[in-house]
């Protein structure tokens, strides 16, 4: 409950920051009071960056990654091997794979993983678009790079069933990855070895 001793604009910012993942009430309060004491340009630059984020970014019509230009730089790069598609849960996972420098194919971002507990089913993800992409031809291998763990495994199994009989080789990142971890938090060497040691589904 908002305190009457604190001005409404301050309460409002604390409330909005508290809705962000990983930021609790105390963290939201600390950020708010930091911005209050900081030079004005810091707050205005943050405000401008948030506005630009919403106004200038979109999702790539091919892979679903966050981009300014559509298609995104990866999809439009003629040097990328478009016959190999790595399927990731979120754009941060794509970034993690890109940082290894080991993958020269293209991506497909699902925007999540199957999670009945959280009310996320296959129809909430970009699996239908993946199937259409495969049916369009030109893809020889699909690397299922979902996070190791119950939700990632369920998603991988569903994708395997959907793509069965469509003439594409299906592989999964090697299990050198810690179970339950997210790709975005795995170091580049471990991720590179997992990519190189991928196995068939």
| Predicted structure pTM score | 0.78
Question: Quick check: 35 pLDDT over 90?
Answer: yes
Question: Quick check: 176 pLDDT over 70?
Answer: no
pLDDT tens digit sequence for 96-135: 999 989 899 999 999 999 999 999 999 999 999 999 999 9
Residue recorded with tokens 């060497």? 189
Predicted pLDDT at 80: 98
Question: Quick check: 2 pLDDT over 60?
Answer: no
Report the alpha-carbon distance of residue 162 to residue 52 in Å, rounded: 37
Q: Are 86 and 103 in contact (CB under 8 A)?
A: yes
The contacts found for 184-188 with CB under 8 angstroms, 24 or more apart, are: 184/90, 184/92, 184/93, 184/95, 184/96, 186/96, 188/96, 188/99, 188/100
Domain boundaries, the chain: 8-56, 74-200
Hey, what's the torsion of the CAs at 128, 130, 136, 138, to 10 degrees? Answer: -170
Domain 74-200, CATH number (from 3.65.10.10, 3.40.1360.10, 3.40.50.300, 3.40.630.30): 3.40.1360.10
Predicted pLDDT at 198: 73
Q: Which two tokens stand for residue 12?
A: 């409002």
- Which secondary structure element, helix H or strand E, spans residue 188, and what is its range? helix 188-196
Predicted pLDDT at 185: 78
- Average pLDDT of the segment spanning 60-77: 96
Cis check for the bond before 111: say yes or no (omega within 30 of 0).
no
- Average pLDDT of the segment spanning 39-62: 95
Q: How many other C-beta atoms are found inside a 10 Å radius of the C-beta of residue 179?
A: 11
Report the alpha-carbon distance of residue 29 to residue 90 in Å, rounded: 28
Predicted pLDDT at 178: 66
Question: Quick check: 24 pLDDT over 80?
Answer: yes
Q: How confident is the model at residue 85 (pLDDT cuts 50, 70, 90)?
A: very high
Predicted pLDDT at 195: 79
Report the alpha-carbon distance of residue 94 to residue 96 in Å, rounded: 5
Predicted pLDDT at 6: 87
Q: What percent of the chain has pLDDT over 70?
A: 94
Domain 8-56, CATH number (from 3.40.50.620, 3.40.50.2300, 1.10.8.420, 3.20.20.70): 1.10.8.420
Q: Give the distance from CA 14 to its chain's centroid.
A: 26
- Average pLDDT of the segment spanning 6-17: 94
- Average pLDDT of the segment spanning 51-80: 96
Predicted pLDDT at 142: 97
CB-based contacts of 105, cutoff 8 Å, min separation 6: 80, 81, 82, 83, 84, 85, 86, 141, 143
């Amino acid at each position: 409950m908002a305190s009457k001793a604190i001005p409404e604009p301050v309460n409002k910012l604390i409330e909005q920051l508290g809705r962000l993942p990983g930021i609790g009430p105390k963290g939201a309060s600390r950020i708010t009071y930091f911005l209050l004491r900081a030079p004005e340009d810091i707050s205005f630059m943050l405000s401008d960056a948030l506005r630009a984020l919403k106004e200038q970014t979109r999702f790539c019509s091919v892979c679903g990654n966050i981009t300014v230009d559509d298609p995104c730089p990866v999809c439009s790069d003629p040097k990328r091997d478009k016959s190999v598609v790595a399927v990731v849960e979120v754009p941060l996972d794509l970034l993690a794979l890109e940082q290894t420098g080991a993958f020269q194919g293209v991506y497909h971002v699902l925007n999540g993983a199957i999670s009945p507990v959280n009310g996320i089913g296959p129809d909430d993800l970009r699996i239908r678009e993946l199937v259409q992409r495969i049916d369009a031809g030109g893809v020889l291998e699909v690397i299922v790079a979902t996070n190791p763990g119950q939700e990632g495994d369920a998603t991988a199994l569903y994708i395997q069933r959907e793509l069965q009989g469509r003439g594409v080789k299906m592989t999964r990142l090697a299990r050198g990855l810690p179970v339950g971890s997210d790709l975005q938090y795995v170091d580049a060497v471990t991720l590179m070895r997992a990519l190189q040691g991928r196995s068939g589904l």
